[in-house]
Structure 1
Amino acid sequence: MANFKLTISDKSGKSISKELKDKEASGFIGLHLGNEIDAAIAGLGGKLKLTGGSDKSGIPMRADIYGSARKPVLVSKGVGLKKVEKGQRRRRLIRGNVISEEIYQLNCSYDGELKIEEAPPAEAKA
């Protein structure tokens, strides 16, 4: 069965992580990057927009590559490519925009504001 690590971030830069297993995770199979889903799956109200992710070996997903397979793609900028000089292109292994069971981490943006509980400060020993 599918297991995902869901990373949810809001507009202010706060983020939380949630582990999804079996039935919860099966609702994501077949969705594309850019799709919006109900945030109730993560215990929130509102909508989540799928923005990216990576597979079990760290290969990033890219929104402009269709399918769920890994493909060697010639890229000049964007996801999967770090600093390059102007005009330079590199062939990189990229995963497509369809979520499959091989995906490990999913990144989402939340339309509301996340309430993050802060840990209480550790008591000083006397």
Structure 2
Amino acid sequence: MGPRAYLVNFKLTVSDSKGRSVTRELKEGDASPLLGLGIGSEADATALGLEGKIRITGGSDKSGVPMRPDVHGPARKYVLLSRGVGLRDAERGGRTRKLVRGNQISEEIYQVNCSFDGEIPAEPKKEEAETKE
């Protein structure tokens, strides 16, 4: 392997307009088109077995640090936050310095959240029915 050969794995959580969501794991070849995309970007959904487009809405890295849309680039940064992604319940008027990740997908990202423009087809629940018996 060369210096830039990375094994990229993403857990993609895809939700549709009706509130249904599915989690799919993308490995190396299927995951590489997502590298470099930012929050709000659109990508093709054929790697997930869906027809249409997905829009990236967020994500987190391997240690759970959330991506934030207003921090540019893929780096982790300490940012002074008063509300929004990465901060829970600040006092009124209070601000807190928190660690967040930028809005660009890189090799360190573990989970990517997306929205699907169509409707996710209902999958048969055969495996769950067999495990309950």
TM-score, normalised relative to structure 1:
0.93
Question: What aligned pairs does 1:1-126 form with structure 2 within 5 A after superposition?
Answer: 1-120=7-126, 121=129
The alpha-carbon deviation at position 118 of structure 1 amounts to: 4.3
CA deviation map 1:2-28 (0-9, x unaligned) = 110011001111000111001111111
Instruction: Give secondary structure in 2 for the equivalent of 1:23.
Output: helix
More helix by share: 2
Unaligned runs of 5+ in 2: 1-6
Change (3 A) 1:100 1:124: closer
Change (3 A) 1:4 1:122: closer
Change (3 A) 1:73 1:11: same
Identical pairs, percent = 55
In structure 1, C-alpha distance between the alignment counterparts of 2:107 and 2:85, rounded to whole Å = 21
TM-score, normalised relative to structure 2:
0.88
Residue 82 of structure 1 aligns to which amino acid in structure 2? R
In structure 1, C-alpha distance between the alignment counterparts of 2:8 and 2:131, rounded to whole Å = 41
In structure 1, C-alpha distance between the alignment counterparts of 2:54 and 2:20, rounded to whole Å = 14
Residue 24 of structure 1 aligns to which amino acid in structure 2? D
Unaligned runs of 5+ in 1: none
